[in-house]
Amino acid sequence: MPHIKKEEFNLFPTPVSCYNLGAFDISEIVDIKDTITTDDHALVENGTSSFIPDCGKEYFLDKTPKIKEVIQMCVNDHARALGFDELDVGQSWCNKTPKGGRLDLHIHNGSVLSGAYYPILTEEIAPLLFRNPLYLYKTMEWFKYHSEYATVFHPVEPYQGLLVLFPSWLDHKTETEIGERFVVSFNTKYRDSNETLVSNQYDKVQSSC
Ligand SMILES: [Fe+2]
C-alpha cells in the first residue's frame, strides 16, 4: 500500500465509565443488604430484585447516603464529560442472582444515565454484557477478522467496588451466572428538568436532517 494520507473518525461513540469505589466504606450497605425486601422479577431469572416499577419510595441508595453521595459525584463527572445538564441519582434497587441465574437483555426506560455498582463481591461472577447499539444496522457486515468494529457484546468484568455508568438506552444483560451476584442499580433524572432546553436541542437535530 503506497503512502496515502488517511483520516479516520470513530463517529458517535457510546461512553461507558468504570469507577473503582473499592476504597470507600461500605458498612452501611453490609448493614442493610439482607434486610431489603426482594421478589421475583421478569428480567432476573432465578434471582430476585427490590425494583419497584411504580417508583415506590423504598430506594436502595436512600438507605445508604454516604455511598450515594460518592455515586452522585461519579454521575456528575460522567454527565459533565458527556455535556449533559446536571443529573440526580433517582430510583435505585438491588438484584440478587445465584449461580445459574441470568439477567435478560434490557434497557432502563425513563432515565438518562444508569449505573451498576458491585459493592460486595467475593468470587468471580458473570460479566456485564453491553450490546453494540449499531449491531441492528449492520445487516451485511460479516466479519472475517477480529476488530473492535466486529464487537456485538462488550463484556465488563465486575470486581468489588466497581461502579459502571452507561447510557440508559444501551442494551445490557448477563449470560448464565457463575457466582453469587449482588448488584445495586440505579437511574438518573435531570436535576432541574429543563425539558425545554433538551427538547429544543432535539428539534434542531431533527430539522437539520
Ligand atoms: Fe440494567
Residue 201's pLDDT is what? 38
How far does residue 143's CA lie from ligand 1's centre (Å)? 28
Ligand 1 centroid vs 172 CA: distance in angstroms? 6
**Ligand 1 geometric centre to CA of 11 (Å):** 25
Q: Could you tell me the distance, in angstroms and rounded to a whole number, from the CA of residue 184 to the centre of ligand 1?
A: 10
Task: Give the residue-averaged pLDDT of 58-80.
Answer: 96
Specify the CATH class of 17-207 in words: mainly beta
Q: 198 CA distance to ligand 1 centroid (A)?
A: 24
**Domain boundary assignment for the chain:** 17-207
Rounded distance from Cα 192 to ligand 1 centre (Å)? 24
Per-residue pLDDT of 83-125, as tens digits, reads 999 999 999 999 999 999 999 999 999 899 999 999 999 999 9
**Dist. CA 189 → ligand 1 center (Å):** 16
Q: What are 113's strand-pairing partners?
A: 167
- Measured in angstroms, how far is the CA atom of residue 209 from the centroid of ligand 1? 32
pLDDT (0 to 100) of residue 58:
78
pLDDT of residue 1: 75
* Residue that the C-alpha cell 453494540 belongs to: 132
- With b for 16 or more beta-carbon neighbours within 10 A and e for fewer, the 8-21 pattern comes to eeeeeeeebbebeb
Residue 200 backbone phi and psi in degrees, to 5: -65, -40
Grid coordinates in use for 50? 427490590
Q: How far is the CA of 196 from the centre of ligand 1 (A)?
A: 28
Identify any residues that bridge with 114 across adjacent strands, giving them in sequence order: 166, 187
Strand ranges, E, within 119-201: 128-131, 153-156, 162-167, 172-173, 181-190
pLDDT at site 54: 56
Nearest to 152 by CA among 172, 124, 169: 172
DSSP H or E segment with residue 197: helix 195-207
The predicted-structure confidence for 160-182, as pLDDT tens digits, reads as follows: 999 999 999 999 999 999 999 99
- Residues in the chain, total: 209
